[in-house]
Amino acid sequence: MAETPTSSSLDVKIKKLPAILKALPRPRVWTNLQTLFGPFLLRYASHLAIIGLVVLTLSLSGIQLPRADSPQLLPPTAAPSLGDRTYTALAGRGNLLPAERSTLVRFPVPHTTIPDRLRRGVITYTVQSGDMVSSIAADFGLKWTTIMWSNEHLEDNPDLLLPGQVLNILPIDGAYHRVCDGDTLAKIAKKYEVEVEDITGCPFNNVHSDADLQIGVHLLVPGGRKPYVPVVFRPTYTGPFPADAPRGTGQFIWPAQGRLTDLFGYVRNRWHTGIDIANSQGTHVFAADRGYVRQAGWTKMGYGVLVIIDHGNGYWTYYGHLSAVWVSAGQYVEQGQWIGNIGNTGRSTGPHLHFEIRRNKEPTDPMGLLPPR
């Protein structure tokens, strides 16, 4: 028969139950989870307990937390009455006309623009330090050629612009012609490539026919172009080319070594009749071809110390701004012969050689006749 458990035996077994449960093996996963989240759960539970105590204390004590009051917006204040304004249609506002819906009405700007007015005649200007022909022309709204063609001393050499000189400034672009004996309106118009009506119709000229022309009086030729007239320099030696002297070959060599700074043609708004070769002062200068020396010495034409060689075949060569000359007028020289030194004489901005080749007294571009460098 089965043994019936008694109360005393049950008590003994209940007491042994915790030890038996503790002795049982635990799953590894549960152990790992307990180790990982145990501290976190403990801290979380403690925070919840503290918050609960604070809430309970506040509710029991009746303390009310302060509340932030929202700003109260005041109702808008009505603008003061400005009275009644009488509306006037555009048609009733002077000469204004109502614009159509597709028309843009220009906003009135209280500003007066004074237009450039034409000068009423020829004025004069005194050259200041640093002035150039081009800058003076720009200041008066003219072409630089107008400044040259209205001042005879600048036509031959625009570099001869010195402080203190007084220049004629025309009111419009053109030329300034001084009437000479035998002049007629037709001759003047033909010379400057304009029509007679351009001269007689100019308000600055009180001329209507040839009978009104007076010798010595200047006429303004609107739009006139003055033809180029080469500078005729009278050299020291004016005799004929010696019959027994060898003539030039027509094949030129470079007269000096150096750096090209200016070429032939229009340079900085002026006509340049040769090329400039810059080098240190005293650099040797050689004859570009054999020939006969026409000039050797100082000139007043802006070249400073100048040597001119006549090659007997229509070509002349010019060597300007020299500091020394080793030939004399009337002397025969060979191609490549040392004739002088580079200098800074005359109208010069630094040590260089101004070299020209003239054919039948007309300046020619030396770069087309010299060998490639």
* pLDDT > 80? residue 231: no
Which residues have CB under 8 Å from 180's CB, separation 6+?
215
Please say whether the dihedral angle defined by the alpha carbons of residues 155, 161, 163 and 169, taken in this order, is positive or negative.
Answer: positive
Does 2.70.70.10 match the CATH number of domain 259-368? yes
Question: What CATH code is assigned to 123-222?
Answer: 3.10.350.10
Which residues have CB under 8 Å from 304's CB, separation 6+?
298, 320, 321, 322, 343, 344, 345, 346, 347, 348
Q: What is the CA radius of gyration of the chain?
A: 53
- Supply the pTM of this predicted model: 0.41
Mean pLDDT, range 119-134, rounded to an integer: 82
- Distance CA(123)–CA(169), nearest Å, equals 5
* pLDDT > 90? residue 336: yes
* pLDDT > 70? residue 230: no
Tens digits of residue pLDDT in 142-157: 988 888 888 877 765 5
- Distance CA(335)–CA(248), nearest Å, equals 8
- Distance CA(215)–CA(184), nearest Å, equals 11
Q: How many CA atoms lie within 13 A of 108 on its CB side?
A: 2
SS3 call for 150? coil
Domain boundaries, the chain: 123-222, 259-368
Residue bearing tokens 């001119």: 308
Name which of 147-151, 255-259, 336-340 the model is least confident about: 147-151
Residue 62, token pair as written in the block = 């009746």
Share of the chain above pLDDT 90, in %: 28
* pLDDT > 70? residue 193: yes
Q: What is the pLDDT of residue 161?
A: 65
* pLDDT > 50? residue 125: yes
Confidence grade of residue 219 (pLDDT, cut at 50, 70, 90): very high
- Phi, psi for 175 (deg, rounded to 5): -125, 160
- Contact (CB, 8 A) for 179 and 215: yes
* pLDDT > 50? residue 223: yes
Bridge-based pairing state of the strands 271-272 and 352-359: unpaired
